Amino acid sequence: MYIDLIALKNYRNYEDVRIEPCRGVTVLTGDNAQGKTNALESVYLCCTGRSHRTSHDRELIRTGSEVAYVKVSGVRRDGRHDVEISLSESGRRQVKVNASPVRRSGELLGHITGVLFAPEDLRMVKDSPSVRRRFMDMELSQLRPSYYYALQRYNRALKQRNALLKEALIAPVDPESFDVWERELSLSGAEIVQSRVSFVGKLAESASDIHASITAGKETLRVTYEPSVPPGESLSETKDNLAKQLLNAREKDIKRGLASFGVHRDDLGIFIGDMDARSYGSQGQVRTCALSLKLSEIELIQKETGEAPVLMLDDVMSELDPDRRRQLVKRLDGVQALITCTDKNDLAGAEIGKLFHVKNAILTEEV
């Protein structure tokens, strides 16, 4: 797929701008703090419903304004898909898909699909498990809105059960209250686990192929799913496992005041040969692993939806050595890419379709 319009009003430092990317490589270049990342962030917002930098809508609204508006218009095989989001200070959002208002935020998912690669992703392998879980969650949500809803239900139930755990320390709590939330945790939790099992299976396969190619066969990458509770053979078996363990852990959890396990503790295992790259990978190795994972994300979306997602590269070229840059550029064929950089020389020979200079939120096209 490709997008041909990004319209922003009072979004971050943009007052009112329309950006029309080309189908190939569109470059946004300029000094620091001019609005390059802000533009990519707005596209990511229309892909996932979330900013990759903040969970507070307020920060996305231009200082001094009350409402921010983002529209991204894309073309897929089956026609045009528009996502529009209005953000207000009160935190209430208005979302439209193809000009019709939607009630649930998850309904915007799957219309504009995108993969964002930012410098912090290069540290994904060494970061805390939460970063790798977010990688799984963002990807799976775009592919399956039902996953996104399961996550929402899980997080709500987790919060409720945690509140009960705290209450129970002070005064006895009716066990039935626990039952209610544990039932929801095991139901939504099982959906999440099963989706992650199948997702990581596919991801692992393509990441290991890509990694072998990037390292010219010198390294084998093994990606595994490390669930906090072992998945069963089926959804209902996983659900029963979760329910049983939650019940068993209840007393202990009350003493700790916190849930001791659950899908919010899962991790992604990343190994080079037998070595755990999360603990022992060298800086170069973990960067290559991150690159392989990101590239396989593109491949996976392409396989699942039949169309390549929009690739956004935020300042990553400058963080990669020439060899890895070339590997990345090699894979831009047939993929729409939005690339930001401060130095055009970092583009490693990518064929540029359109180039915009960004200065203080004003874009000038260089021809």
Ligand X SMILES: Nc1ncnc2c1ncn2[C@@H]1O[C@H](COP(=O)(O)OP(=O)(O)OP(=O)(O)O)[C@@H](O)[C@H]1O
Interacting residues with ligand X (CB under 6 A): 12-13, 30, 32-38, 59, 61-63, 315, 342
Which residue, judged by CB position, is nearest to Mg ion in the bound state?
A: 37
Partner interacting with residue 34 (select from ligand X, Mg ion, none; CB below 5-8 Å by kind)? ligand X
Pick what 51 binds: Mg ion, ligand X, none; C-beta below 5 to 8 Å, kind-dependent: none
**Min dist. Cβ of residue 34 to Mg ion (A):** 9
The radius of gyration computed from the CA coordinates of the chain, to the nearest angstrom, equals 22
- State in angstroms the smallest separation of the CB of 89 from ligand X: 11
Smallest distance, ligand X to C-beta of residue 199, A = 30
Contact region with Mg ion (CB under 5 A), list: 32-40, 43-51, 152-160, 250-258: 32-40
State the virtual CA torsion across 83, 89, 91, 97 in degrees, nearest 10: -10
Taking the complex as a whole, how short is the minimal distance between the CB of residue 44 and ligand X, in angstroms?
12
The CB-of-7 to ligand X minimum distance in angstroms stands at: 17
Structural contact between residues 357 and 364, judged by C-beta atoms closer than 8 angstroms:
yes
The Cα–Cα gap between 180 and 160 comes to: 10
* Angstrom distance (rounded) from CA 121 to CA 291: 9
Q: For residues 12 and 250, which CB has a smaller minimum distance to ligand X in the complex? A: 12
Contact 222, 208 (CB under 8 A): yes
**Quick one: 204 or 337, whose CB is closer to ligand X?**
337
Cβ distance to ligand X smaller for residue 214 or 316: 316
Q: Which is nearer to ligand X, 17 or 301 (CB)?
A: 17
Angle, CA 96 vertex, CA 90 and CA 99 arms, to 5°: 140
Say how far residue 6 (Cα) sits from the centre of its chain.
Answer: 19
Among 26, 29, 37, 142, binds Mg ion (CB under 5 A): 37
Task: State the DSSP H helix or E strand holding residue 330, giving kind and residue range, or none if neither.
Answer: helix 322-330
Nearer to Mg ion, 38 or 241 (CB): 38
Site string for Mg ion, 207-246 (x = CB under 5 A): ----------------------------------------
Decide: 355 and 29 in contact? Cβ < 8 Å.
Answer: yes
59 vs 251, beta carbon nearer ligand X: 59
Judged by CB under 5 A, does residue 42 bind Mg ion? no
Tell me how long the chain is. Answer: 367
Q: What's the min distance (Å) between Cβ of 361 and ligand X?
A: 7
Of 53 and 153, the one with the shorter C-beta distance to Mg ion is 53
CB 304 within 8 A of CB 331: no
32 binds, options Mg ion, ligand X, none, Cβ within 5 to 8 A by partner type: ligand X
Separation CA 72–CA 76 (nearest Å):
13
**CA–CA distance from 50 to each of 33, 44, 67, 142, 179 (Å)?**
21, 7, 17, 11, 32
CB distance 27 to 344 below 8 Å: yes
Show Cβ contacts of residue 137 under 8 Å, excluding neighbours closer than 6 positions.
Answer: 147, 151
Provide, rounded to whole angstroms, the least separation between the CB of residue 97 and ligand X. Answer: 25
**Positions that interact with Mg ion (CB under 5 A):** 36-37
